[in-house]
Amino acid sequence: MPKMKTHSGAKKRFRVTGSGLIKFKRAGMRHIMTKMSTKRKRNLRKSGVVRKTEEWRVKRMLVLA
């Protein structure tokens, strides 16, 4: 049976931490930022962690599960 291929889009968007959590960068920081509040832009700079309910989907795309 052939090897499973990693989803190229997921590979670019997610990183696995040492403890096994999956990190991602928040969307919405490319353009049209003048109308955003400073607080919103500051919070978008932070990376997020994938929720437990969605984790298996991402791991399947990254061929970790």
Show the CA angle centred on residue 63, arms to residues 58 and 65, nearest 5°.
75
Give pLDDT tens digits for 27-47. Answer: 999 999 999 999 999 999 999
Nearest to 10 by CA among 51, 63, 65, 48: 63
16 contacts: CB under 8 Å, gap ≥ 6? 22, 23, 62, 64
pLDDT band at 64 (very low <50, low <70, confident <90, very high): confident
Q: Is residue 57 part of a domain?
A: yes
Total number of domains constituting the chain: 1
Structural domain range at position 29:
8-61
What is the side-by-side order of every strand in the sheet holding 22-25? Answer: 14-16, 22-25, 47-49
Determine the Cα–Cα distance for residues 58 and 41; give it in Å rounded to an integer.
26
Q: What CATH number did the domain enclosing 48 receive? A: 4.10.410.60
**3 part of a folded domain:** no
pTM of the predicted protein model: 0.82
